[in-house]
Amino acid sequence: MSNELFANLHDTSSLFQLFGDQYLKREDIDLIKEHSQKLIFNKGEVLIKQGSKSTHVVFLFKGIIKHTYQKENYKNMILTITSAPSLIGGANMFNNGKNIFSVIAVEDCEAFMIDINILKQLLMQNSQLALQLFDVVSEMSKDSIINFINLAHKHVNGKVADILLYLSESVYKSQKFTLSMTRRELSEFAGISEINFISTLKKFEKDGILNAKCKEIEIINKSQLELISKLG
């Protein structure tokens, strides 16, 4: 992990896209810049550690991360996978101040570590910004919860179909993409064994639904994949 000064306002322009010009003003950006660090995280590095004191909200503006939760038996669960731009850790502003999950880079990432007290100060001064932040955090949490519930009630084929559709639509935003994660990580996300995940990929490929070569995935028949997801 390395840090550097803000290079220019271009780096923070996606904050406006996330909140909207009507909620986040230029002077707010200046205050955030003054009390933030721009960090570069290499693949596998931890942005947020479960159980640690929450001191910053992370604005991810480049890269892809995974949210993991470690259970008492030290087994990790992947809760969701998120790509930039994304605000991470905002929910911690409304709880007891401890991070409830870990956030790990699955590819090289760039992010702003925003002082949580500065963000709270802005929220107290701007009720519209507070509501907008709540909407952003709620929307991100909702997607994660719905995805988790759907996976819990589906068979293997439906789970793998859901994961592929989620990666295509919400993470890589393309029907052809290069995976940032291993088959093992994706099987953890789906809640199945690595062997079942790999065999299901091969089955989908044999059925003409997708091409899967190493880390390259191309969804050929999206409607069939959606049907498998729907049937569960």
How many angstroms separate the CA atoms of 133 and 25, rounded? 14
- pLDDT 10s digits, 1-47: 544 433 443 455 555 555 555 566 777 777 777 777 888 999 999 99
User: Where is average pLDDT lowest: 106-110, 144-148, 178-182?
Assistant: 144-148
Start-to-end Cα distance in the chain: 40
Mean pLDDT of the chain: 81
Whole-number pLDDT of residue 43: 94
Query: What's the mean pLDDT in 55-64?
Result: 87
How many angstroms separate the CA atoms of 17 and 58, rounded? 16
Query: What's the mean pLDDT in 52-77?
Result: 83
H/E stretch holding 26 reads: helix 26-34
Length of the chain measured in residues: 232
pTM for the complete prediction? 0.80
Q: Which residue has the tokens 């995976």?
A: 179
- pLDDT 10s digits, 100-124: 888 999 999 998 888 888 878 887 8
Q: Which residue has the tokens 């590819």?
A: 107
Residue, of 125 and 131, whose pLDDT is higher: 125
Whole-number pLDDT of residue 64: 94
Q: Copy the structure tokens of residue 59.
A: 């604005």
Whole-number pLDDT of residue 76: 76
Using the predicted structure, report yes or no on whether residue 207 has a pLDDT greater than 90.
yes
Using the predicted structure, report yes or no on whether residue 200 has a pLDDT greater than 90.
yes
CA torsion through residues 74, 163, 151, 193, sign? negative
Using the predicted structure, report yes or no on whether residue 145 has a pLDDT greater than 50.
yes
Domain map (residue ranges) of the chain: 2-126, 152-231
Query: What's the mean pLDDT in 150-160?
Result: 84
Query: What's the mean pLDDT in 127-154?
Result: 68
Whole-number pLDDT of residue 132: 67
To 10 degrees, the CA torsion angle through 110, 115, 119, 125?
-140
Q: Which residue has the tokens 């892809």?
A: 64
- pLDDT 10s digits, 83-99: 988 888 766 665 567 78
Whole-number pLDDT of residue 206: 95
**CATH number of the 2-126 domain:** 2.60.120.10
**CATH number of the 152-231 domain:** 1.10.10.10
Instruction: Report CA-CA distances (Å) from 197 to 115, 126, 153, 164, 200.
Output: 40, 47, 16, 11, 5
Whole-number pLDDT of residue 24: 67
Whole-number pLDDT of residue 73: 67
Using the predicted structure, report yes or no on whether residue 160 has a pLDDT greater than 60.
yes
Q: Which amino acid is at 182?
A: T
- Say if residue 191 is exposed, middle or buried (CB neighbours under 10 Å; 0-12, 13-18, 19+): middle
Using the predicted structure, report yes or no on whether residue 220 has a pLDDT greater than 90.
yes
Residue, of 171 and 15, whose pLDDT is higher: 171
How many angstroms separate the CA atoms of 171 and 215, rounded? 15
The closest alpha carbon to 225, from 200, 203, 204, belongs to 204
Contact between 38 and 87 (Cβ < 8 Å): no
Contact between 32 and 125 (Cβ < 8 Å): no
Whole-number pLDDT of residue 26: 75
**Parallel, antiparallel, or unpaired: how do β-strands 56-62 and 216-219 relate?**
unpaired
